[in-house]
């Protein structure tokens, strides 16, 4: 019966734009905008309309069809279902229930920058898990679990949204081998999909394939996001965070340190729950079903509790959206965001925040959970292209890196995680240094064309490549690099917007030059990453052989690695 009512209700939403009156924009992404609107023939029911620009949307129409189909056929109280969808010229309008409190991401950014209380986190996460359990049972992977895709209504009900990159094991898409007979081998995906900070390691290493457990990882990251106000590594631009994930495991111990320093204490069961989701080995992560039985979700409160503890006194989504635009240098920048991130519904804020965050938003860095000694970096961020500073740091890492490798040649990223449990304190602080320096290493790459550091960095390049290749298979880097390329493209967009702003503004040309230089460096870097990926592929083979023959002599392998360090042409124009 319920199904029937549902259908009747769905059918009665009119399929023509004139039946809707649009109030205001409450969110926007690269190729879509979300509006608050009313449906006139239905007693002016308030709805949210996501208008996807099919002309700008990079996704092919098959993906759009799959998303519409998923939204039409999924039916669960914790999943946002579309009332209907129809095209209006070159836009696709998806009419959905209006979730008055907006996304968790927007709630956090506007009112809980340091994260939510554990008891409200438990409610939000439990509701999300219900949705995930249903989805997985249906053979669907969401592939983009994050606070920005978890929506809250004014009554405290919670719904998972945005199936833009979701996938179904029953409907293999074109990029998969669809010719084979359906079997559980279809349970494995290889595409790189999702949003970098929330992406599971096996998604990044996409050649090994991933499945439902990738959602569980993202769920764990989302838990941290709710606890701290932002996901780990989010002070880095998305593509750097991908590299960090490849070369390092996330270490919960760092969070704990951070928490104590902030006087924010989390229960053992919460930490345990998150840790289980973030196990580097997907098979060790619990299923959604098992996770629901975790003690952390026992005695979970209800939606009413959320209304009292979180939703009361929140600015409306409209206000939050306006605020997010106001805090922007240039409202246009809101449109230029990373395209891989599907437009999040009712959560515009995150869009431009993430990209502009590492340029303009200092507050974000202050909250860095991964690198506890971040104050200096904070300063450095302001002058992040100051070469001397960075190259110096650069030099020190590699010593550390190599030490570490010598000490434990077989150290793989997965193992480095478990080390935390056993290592003594000073070892840990050393780790932190390595972590910190890894960040600098990334920055340092941007300087390799600097005259006074050329020789130095050439050597370093070799180390970098070798250290990466001992921990990373080269093949998965290709999609990652593609993503990086896109990400760089987006950053370029932000920068060009800024330049546009500057040319009409009062900021000195020096900054503009800096930015030009930055762009040049980024594109140079892009070239080098491209080269490196092809080199890596070749070297990996060679390395494998060498490692098998002589596994002790890791350092020699290291030196034997060739890396073409020639600077490529700069293709990107402004």
Indicate which residues carry an active-site annotation: 144
Annotated binding site for ATP: 50
Report the distance separating Cα 438 and Cα 444, nearest Å.
Answer: 9
87 beta partners? 92
Cα pseudo-dihedral 19, 25, 27, 31, rounded to 10 = 70
Annotated binding site: 50
CA angle 485, 278, 204 (to 5 degrees): 25
Q: Tell the residue number behind the tokens 């700008």, with chain if given.
A: 56
- CB within 8 Å of 1: residues ≥ 6 apart: none
Q: Based on the number of CB atoms within 10 Å of its own CB, is 355 exposed (0-12), middle (13-18) or buried (19 or more)?
A: buried
SS (H, E, C) 252-301: HHHHHHHHHHCCCCCCHHHHHHHHHHCCCCHHHCCCHHHHHCCHHHCCCC
Q: Based on the number of CB atoms within 10 Å of its own CB, is 228 exposed (0-12), middle (13-18) or buried (19 or more)?
A: buried
- Output the six-digit token pair for 120: 């409200």
Cβ nearer to other proteins, comparing 95 with 150: 95
Cβ nearer to other proteins, comparing 69 with 308: 69
Q: How far is the CB of 289 from other proteins (least distance, A)?
A: 10
Say if residues 212 and 101 touch (Cβ distance below 8 Å): no
Q: How far is the CB of 214 from other proteins (least distance, A)?
A: 13
Q: How far is the CB of 84 from other proteins (least distance, A)?
A: 7
Cβ nearer to other proteins, comparing 138 with 154: 138
**β strands within 41-125, DSSP E:** 45-53, 84-88, 91-97, 102-103
Q: How far is the CB of 212 from other proteins (least distance, A)?
A: 7
Report the distance separating Cα 42 and Cα 13, nearest Å.
Answer: 7
Binding site for other proteins (CB under 8 A): 3, 6-7, 11, 15-16, 54-55, 61-62, 64-65, 68-69, 72-73, 75, 84-87, 89-90, 92, 138-139, 169-171, 181-184, 187, 212, 287
Cβ nearer to other proteins, comparing 170 with 559: 170
Say if residues 149 and 163 touch (Cβ distance below 8 Å): no
Cβ nearer to other proteins, comparing 208 with 411: 208
Report the distance separating Cα 460 and Cα 446, nearest Å.
Answer: 13
Q: How far is the CB of 15 from other proteins (least distance, A)?
A: 4
Say if residues 101 and 308 touch (Cβ distance below 8 Å): no
Q: How far is the CB of 182 from other proteins (least distance, A)?
A: 5
Q: How far is the CB of 425 from other proteins (least distance, A)?
A: 40
52 beta partners? 32, 92
Cβ nearer to other proteins, comparing 87 with 378: 87
Cβ nearer to other proteins, comparing 160 with 439: 160
């Amino acid at each position: 019966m319920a199904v029937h009512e549902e259908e009747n209700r769905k059918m009665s939403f009119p399929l023509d734009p004139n039946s809707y009156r649009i109030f205001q924009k409450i969110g926007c992404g690269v190729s879509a905008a979300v509006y608050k609107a009313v449906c006139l023939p239905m007693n002016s029911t308030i709805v949210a309309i996501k208008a996807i620009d099919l002309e700008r949307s990079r996704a092919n129409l098959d993906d759009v069809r799959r998303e519409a189909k998923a939204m039409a056929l999924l039916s669960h109280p914790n999943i946002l279902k579309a009332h209907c969808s129809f095209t209006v010229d070159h836009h696709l309008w998806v009419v959905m229930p209006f979730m008055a409190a907006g996304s968790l991401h927007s709630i956090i950014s506007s009112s809980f920058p340091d994260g939510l209380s554990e008891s409200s986190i438990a409610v939000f996460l439990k509701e999300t898990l219900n949705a995930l359990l249903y989805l997985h049972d249906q053979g669907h992977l969401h592939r983009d679990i994050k606070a920005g895709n978890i929506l809250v209504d004014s009554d405290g009900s919670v719904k998972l949204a945005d199936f833009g990159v979701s996938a179904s094991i029953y409907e293999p898409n074109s990029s998969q081998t669809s010719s084979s007979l359906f079997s559980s081998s279809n349970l494995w995906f290889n595409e790189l999909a999702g949003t970098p900070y929330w992406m599971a390691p096996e998604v990044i290493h996409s050649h090994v394939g991933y499945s439902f457990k990738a959602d569980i990882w993202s769920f764990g990251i989302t838990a941290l996001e709710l606890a701290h106000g932002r996901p780990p590594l989010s002070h880095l631009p998305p593509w750097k965070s991908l590299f960090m994930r490849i070369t390092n495991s996330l270490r919960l111990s760092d969070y704990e340190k951070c928490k104590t320093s902030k006087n924010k204490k989390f229960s053992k069961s919460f930490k345990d729950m998150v840790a289980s989701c973030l196990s580097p080995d997907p098979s060790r992560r619990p299923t959604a079903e098992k996770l629901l039985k975790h003690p952390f979700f026992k005695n979970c409160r209800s939606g009413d509790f959320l209304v009292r503890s979180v939703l009361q006194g929140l600015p409306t989504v409209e206000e939050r959206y306006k605020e997010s635009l106001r805090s922007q240098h240039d409202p246009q920048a809101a449109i230029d965001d990373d395209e891989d991130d599907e437009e999040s519904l009712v959560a515009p804020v995150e869009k431009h925040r993430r990209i502009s965050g590492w340029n303009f938003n200092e507050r974000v860095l202050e909250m860095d959970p991964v690198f506890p000694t971040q104050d200096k970096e904070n300063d450095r961020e302001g002058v992040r292209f100051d070469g001397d500073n960075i190259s110096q740091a650069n030099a020190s890492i590699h010593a550390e890196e190599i030490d570490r490798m010598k000490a434990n040649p077989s150290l793989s990223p997965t193992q480095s995680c478990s080390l935390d449990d056993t290592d003594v304190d000073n070892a840990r602080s050393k780790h932190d240094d390595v972590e910190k320096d890894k960040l600098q290493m990334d920055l340092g790459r941007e300087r390799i064309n600097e005259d006074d550091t050329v020789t130095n960095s050439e050597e370093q390049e070799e180390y970098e490549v070798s250290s990466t290749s001992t921990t990373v298979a080269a093949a998965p880097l290709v999609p990652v690099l593609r993503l990086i390329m896109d990400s760089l493209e987006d950053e370029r967009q932000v920068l060009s917007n800024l330049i546009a702003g500057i040319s009409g503004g009062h900021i000195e040309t020096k900054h503009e030059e800096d930015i030009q230089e930055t762009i040049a460096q980024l594109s140079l870097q892009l070239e080098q990453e491209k080269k490196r990926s092809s080199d890596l592929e070749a070297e990996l083979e060679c390395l494998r052989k060498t490692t098998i023959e002589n596994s002790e002599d890791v350092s020699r392998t290291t030196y034997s690695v060739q890396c073409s360090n020639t600077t490529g042409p700069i293709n990107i124009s402004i």
